[in-house]
Structure 1
Amino acid sequence: MTNFVSCFSAPRRSMIAALGLLAFAGLAKAQQVLRVSAIPDEAPTELQRKFKPLGALLEKKLGMKVEFVPVTDYAASVEGLINKKLDMVWFGGFTFVQAKIRSKDQVIPLVQREEDEKFKSVFITADKNITKLEDLKGKTFSFGSESSTSGHLMPRSYLLAARINPDTDMKRIAFSGAHDATVAAVSGGKVDAGALNFSVWEKLLAQGKVDTKQVHVFYTTPGYYDYNWSVRADMPADMRKKITDTFLNLDPANPQDKEVLSLQGATRFIPTKADNYKAIEAAAHNAGLLK
């Protein structure tokens, strides 16, 4: 049987082939999805709630579908990005450093919240006899995730600076997996004290989810660089610019933008760079968390 396309002249066949390629390209573009995730430092439902308005805004600005892809743990967020299963991830400073090293510098941080220039961790307890870091010797203690900057790395660094080795000077240490879980562990009496990031602590206070007559902050760390939105270096430059501009142009005077900023815990977003996280990398080496 004669092939339908072969009935046409060579120029006509070329035109049909070109149109077919254009149709295929259009279909591929229509199916293109920006896969976004975040380190699971809070409950999955909370992460989804916080991302929904941002995802809708990115879809509008990029002209493509934006999908939030939850991950099981911090390591999965790193592996997902460098193995091209994710396109953009909300990293903590430490997970960004891990992704940067694992990818051999093929991960680019685009923006951070203004608050992330001087981020802090808080140490909390329900024990009135614990008033300083040194009082934690012989106590039970909870960090967040092992790969958390504000829930493990930096609290551990400041404990070591106070000459307290969590592994040998404390009765027992645990990893709750998330900041809100650390608060629950301290409130529930499962541990004597714990550390988490100040942003989640303040949010839980504002939501009335912490009884400050029971649990209180007894130490706040100095500031350090923390979270950022990162992408792979192979993302097209024009897409990186559109994403960056979307964040930088968020205007609190605009109700839609204000909602995004509020849910992201940001006054505004600012550009960032890999060099901002050199101190985090050094702290991770010093704490023995990077080999």
Structure 2
Amino acid sequence: MKISLKSIFAASLMLAASWSHAQSADHVFRVSAIPDEAPTELQRKFKPLGEYLEKKIGMKVEFTPVTDYAASVEALINKKVDMVWFGGFTFVQANDRSKGQITPLVQRTEDEKFRSVFVTTHKDINSLNDLKGRTLSFGSESSTSGHLMPRFYLLQSKINPDTDLKRIAFSGAHDATVAAVAGGKVDAGALNISVWEKLVEAKKVDPAVVRVFYTTPGYYDYNWSVRTDMNADLKKKLSDAFLALDINKPEDKAIMDLQRTVKFIPTKVDNYKNIEAAAKNAGLLK
């Protein structure tokens, strides 16, 4: 019996397809996030979203915590996770490190004009200029809303945090920054407005004691990102899942309340050009 090369090729394609299908059926879709809050809080916030995504993409979804912001970048680039909740600056770092191989899928509508706040317990600190000669805590060094943009607006106000302040510190997370200010470890702190509002709502901070004295202008921030080489069908399923969330549906509202949003919208690389420029201006990106 004579077997043609064409038949062998067709058979090999079928075998490869069935093997690929078996692999994808067993695959766990791993998700991570920059650790801008306590690990337990990140897990709590992601759980219902993860369960929702499982149904939408037909794969088991697991949350994989990372130790720091840099680890979230490396995890996505090195294929240890499949999708990451990045801040604007961490996305820029990941895209830069991967030579343009990271795609931002969606962002919350609130992330089009995100803001940072500066807080203090001192009555004589009422403007950025009042920080001269004082101590200040940022969040993580790689945080958009906890370091990069607060630093950018300090520099815009002709205040160099490295030379004009008595000392700067990095708390590692937004809630830790508030704790440092409340505990008197620093005179002031800069953090994400969303976390600040959540801490106030949960009565974990007294705004009469720790108060906001400056709020930055808006800028693009957080997004959900994947690698550019992700299977196109999976990428579309993920985008569609986020965009389908409806605040008017009780089951969706529970997810969106934890994500602190009313709607997810598409995003793109160009939205983060100003973040990239601010990072280069501040000497945080070569």
Q: TM-score, normalised by structure 2?
A: 0.94
Aligned to 2:215: 220
Corresponding residue to 1:192 among 177, 184, 187? 187
Tell me if 1:246 matches 2:241: yes
Corresponding residue to 1:93 among 78, 88, 95? 88
* Identity percentage of aligned residues: 72
Tell me if 1:138 matches 2:102: no
In structure 2, distance between residues paired with 1:193 and 1:132: 11
Q: Which has the larger radius of gyration?
A: 1
Structure 1 runs of 4+ with >4 Å offset: 16-26
Structure 1 residue 21, shift from structure 2 partner: 6.7
User: After superposition, where does 1:162-177 map in structure 2 within 5 Å?
Assistant: 162-177=157-172
In structure 2, distance between residues paired with 1:159 and 1:176: 18
Structure 2: gaps spanning 5 or more residues: none
In structure 2, distance between residues paired with 1:113 and 1:157: 23
Aligned to 1:58: 53
Residues 22 and 231 from structure 1, CA distance in 2 versus in 1: closer, same or farther, beyond 3 angstroms? closer
User: After superposition, where does 1:1-291 map in structure 2 within 5 Å?
Assistant: 24-291=19-286
SS of aligned partner of 2:163? helix
In structure 2, distance between residues paired with 1:103 and 1:24: 29
Structure 1 residue 27, shift from structure 2 partner: 3.6
Structure 1 residue 25, shift from structure 2 partner: 4.5
Structure 1 residue 124, shift from structure 2 partner: 0.1
Q: TM-score, normalised by structure 1?
A: 0.92
Structure 1: gaps spanning 5 or more residues: 1-9
In structure 1, distance between residues paired with 2:277 and 2:20: 45
In structure 2, distance between residues paired with 1:215 and 1:88: 35
Residues 269 and 21 from structure 1, CA distance in 2 versus in 1: closer, same or farther, beyond 3 angstroms? closer
